[in-house]
């Protein structure tokens, strides 16, 4: 039990309810903090570690489900409890989909909450201990020893070890050790007995079908999928029948299209009715693929449109990669027909690093496809001769010699963070003392230096190939090698903003605008989303401010050129990005006035005044007040 040590966060927009919950849980011996809404909770969790979050569902701005979804992506072991006084199925279904650990309906007795909190913390303790032991043992053999040796030493074959073997199979698959994964699942299958949980064999069969499919053994892949379907049909479990049919369709679609299509059609209806958003999205994808196979192009386009416009679009890249042979032709149709082009472009950018071979083969088949796919071919996107390509704006990825570096390849996340920090500081050097204070400030100097050098060793070993070195050290200072062929979007963005500011200050307006337009294309979102280190949070805020400055400059320039419509669009970009930006509202009001939309200008003033009053408890600036009075005068004259 960790009751007295557990750190809890209460997220509740009702002050009296928030105070009551905080007091009750503190009295019960927990370390408790509170947040008044979802955005405040994200800020609080960014710099601190919590064991459990208790949140209301319905809150202004970011609701409890969306807030927990974001937090779970960076801290998967955190436990979460949602409280609601409503009976709406939609938010509750969303909560289940993202893996919320507990639900409480108002009104409830405080003892019910305390019991649920205690239960979830005990579950967390068991999960953490199990994962820690598993990873500790596996790390002894990382990259060199045979995982099977570790497995046989740690997990002797007992009648209760089926779940452990399944977990080992899953982890081995993530690490791309397919043979070790297959062996773990096959031994788990051998331990299945009448007393085993009824779903275990089904999941093992489906996992083995996937694994043999990856190894190109279609016969065994088909055998296990058919066994899974038989198990599901015996239980008349429609959801599992659908899962097995999808797997069979995936295996058969290419060589036996009619049979494969029948299985996919059988799966579609149960998937549509599933509470899982991922399975609902999959149903649209299957519908598009089967319609295309049957030459029903209009139906295929409609289903693809539904797939691409699906609300929870973070599901989509994983689905595409899992069912690539099903999904690829519908995606090509989408490119040709320009279906949901913004989402489709984003989707291809997400999956392109994983499917380069298929993209190249397809692009070479016709000039039309070559034109459509060229933006997603790495050799076209990465300058010639680049060794390392780093993306950090809006998403994070690192590609070394055309191969994506996966998270499990890093010896430690601290090593990854340190490398990115040095990259962010480029071309400057960073002193050893500064790195020690930033990353190992809680250790004694000698231990900190040992940890720093060990971390740098593993980072260098992972990145260094053919005698190349990405990190240089000299006189107790470290920096990125200026001769290393690295492309990094956030370094490029930082350099362009610096150049734009210099030109702007020197009154070289045209030059500044040209640079800013290039920089705008680079900024696809926050710096390194999901990273919570102090330096990253500071750099993220600085880049956000630079982005707003950049949009404001472009909008002001377009105003000076009397391009009111284009300037107004930039004001909308600013307000959408930062709803508290007075610059955005000032630009919106000014462009509305210049283009004769005085009533709309007044509306933007009231909107600005309300959001500033509500969120910051301040009044609009004098400049915005002057613009407002001008709008009123013009309305009076009118």
Domain positions in the chain are: 3-128, 412-484, 492-637
DSSP state of 405: P
Tokens describing residue 135 = 């990873």
Residue 96: pLDDT band (50, 70, 90) is low
Contact criterion met (CB below 8 Å) for 241 and 229:
yes
Q: What is the pLDDT of residue 380?
A: 41
HSE (CB half, 13 Å, CA atoms) of 257?
10
Enclosing H/E stretch for 210:
helix 200-214
Question: Residue 637 has what pLDDT?
Answer: 42
CATH 1.25.40.10 fits 492-637, yes or no: yes
Model confidence over 390-445: pLDDT tens digits? Answer: 889 988 888 887 677 877 677 677 888 999 999 999 999 999 999 999 888 888 88
Q: Where are the alpha helices (DSSP H) in 506-595?
A: 509-522, 534-560, 564-577, 582-594
Residues 6+ apart with CB under 8 A from 369: 332, 362, 363
Residue 90: which pLDDT band, with cuts at 50, 70 and 90? low
Mean of all residue pLDDT scores within the chain: 81
Predicted local confidence at residue 93, as pLDDT: 63
Q: How far is CA 297 from CA 250, 326, 347, in A?
A: 20, 15, 21
pLDDT exceeds 80 at position 627? yes
Residue that wins the pLDDT comparison between 162 and 313: 162
pLDDT at 151 over 50: no
pLDDT in tens, 241-283: 988 998 898 888 777 888 888 888 888 888 878 777 778 888 8
Q: Sign (positive/negative) of CA torsion 445, 450, 454, 456?
A: positive
Q: Find the range with the poorest average confidence among 140-149, 307-316, 498-507.
A: 140-149
What's the full length of the chain, in residues?
638
Band of residue 490 on the pLDDT scale cut at 50, 70, 90: very high
What is the pLDDT at residue 176? 61
H-helix or E-strand spanning residue 532: none
The span from the CA of 286 to the CA of 153, in Å, is: 43
Mean pLDDT of 562-585: 88
Question: How does DSSP classify residue 383?
Answer: P
**CATH code for the part of the protein at 3-128:** 3.40.50.2300
Under CATH, what is the fold of the domain 412-484? Arc Repressor Mutant, subunit A (1.10.10)
């Amino acid at each position: 039990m960790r009751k007295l040590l557990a750190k809890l966060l209460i997220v509740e927009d009702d002050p009296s309810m928030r105070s009551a919950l905080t007091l009750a849980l503190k009295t019960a011996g927990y370390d408790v903090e509170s947040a008044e809404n979802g955005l405040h909770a994200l800020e609080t969790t960014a710099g601190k570690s919590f064991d459990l979050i208790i949140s209301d569902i319905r809150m202004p701005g970011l609701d409890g489900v969306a807030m927990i979804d974001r937090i779970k992506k960076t801290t998967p072991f955190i436990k979460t409890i949602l409280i609601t006084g409503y009976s709406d199925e939609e938010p509750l279904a969303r909560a289940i989909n993202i893996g919320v650990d507990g639900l409480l309906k108002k009104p409830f007795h405080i003892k019910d909450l305390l019991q649920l909190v205690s239960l979830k913390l005990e579950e967390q303790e068991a999960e953490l201990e199990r994962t820690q032991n598993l990873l500790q043992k596996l790390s002894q053999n990382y990259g060199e020893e045979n995982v099977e040796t570790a497995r046989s030493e740690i997990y002797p074959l007992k009648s209760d070890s089926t779940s452990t073997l399944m977990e080992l199979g899953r982890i081995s698959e993530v690490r791309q050790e397919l043979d070790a994964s297959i062996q773990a699942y096959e031994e788990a299958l051998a331990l299945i007995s009448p007393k085993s949980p009824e779903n275990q064999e089904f999941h093992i069969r489906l996992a083995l079908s996937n694994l043999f499919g990856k190894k190109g053994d279609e016969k065994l892949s088909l055998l296990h999928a058919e066994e899974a379907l038989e198990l599901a049909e015996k239980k008349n479990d429609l959801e599992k029948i659908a899962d097995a049919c999808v797997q069979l369709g995936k295996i058969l679609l290419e060589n036996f299209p009619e049979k494969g299509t029948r299985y996919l059609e059988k799966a579609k209806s149960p998937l549509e009715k599933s509470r899982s958003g991922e399975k609902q999205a999959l149903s649209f994808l299957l519908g598009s693929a089967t319609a295309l196979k049957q030459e029903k192009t209009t139906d295929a386009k409609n289903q693809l449109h539904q797939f691409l416009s699906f609300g929870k679009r973070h599901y989509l890249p994983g689905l595409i990669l899992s069912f690539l042979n099903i999904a690829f032709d519908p995606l090509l149709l989408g490119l040709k027909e320009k279906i949901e082009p913004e989402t489709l472009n984003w989707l291809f950018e997400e999956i392109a690093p994983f499917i380069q071979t298929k993209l190249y083969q397809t692009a070479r088949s016709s000039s039309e496809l070559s034109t459509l796919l060229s933006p997603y071919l790495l050799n076209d996107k990465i300058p010639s001769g680049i060794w390392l390509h780093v993306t950090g704006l809006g998403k994070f990825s690192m590609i070394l010699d055309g191969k994506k570096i996966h998270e499990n390849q890093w010896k430690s996340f601290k090593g990854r963070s340190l490398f990115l920090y040095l990259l962010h500081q480029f071309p400057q050097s960073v002193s050893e003392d500064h790195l020690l204070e930033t990353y190992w400030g809680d250790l004694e100097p000698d231990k900190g230096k040992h940890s720093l050098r060990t971390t740098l060793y593993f980072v260098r070993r992972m990145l260094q190939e053919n005698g190349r070195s990405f990190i240089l050290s000299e006189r107790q200072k470290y920096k990125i090698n200026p001769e290393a062929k690295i492309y990094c979007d956030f370094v490029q963005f930082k350099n362009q903003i610096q150049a734009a500011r210099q030109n702007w200050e020197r009154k070289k307006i045209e030059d500044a605008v040209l640079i800013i337009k290039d920089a705008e294309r680079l900024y696809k979102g926050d710096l390194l989303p999901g990273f919570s280190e102090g330096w990253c949070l500071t750099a993220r805020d600085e880049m956000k401010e630079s982005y707003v400055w950049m949009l404001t400059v472009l909008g002001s320039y377009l105003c000076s050129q009397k391009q009111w419509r284009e300037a107004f669009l930039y004001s909308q970009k600013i307000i959408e990005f930062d709803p508290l930006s007075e610059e955005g509202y000032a630009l919106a009001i000014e462009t509305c006035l210049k283009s004769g939309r005085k009533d709309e200008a007044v509306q933007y003033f009231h909107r600005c005044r309300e959001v500033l009053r509500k969120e910051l408890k301040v009044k609009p600036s004098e400049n915005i007040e002057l613009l407002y009075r001008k709008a009123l005068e013009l309305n009076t004259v009118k």
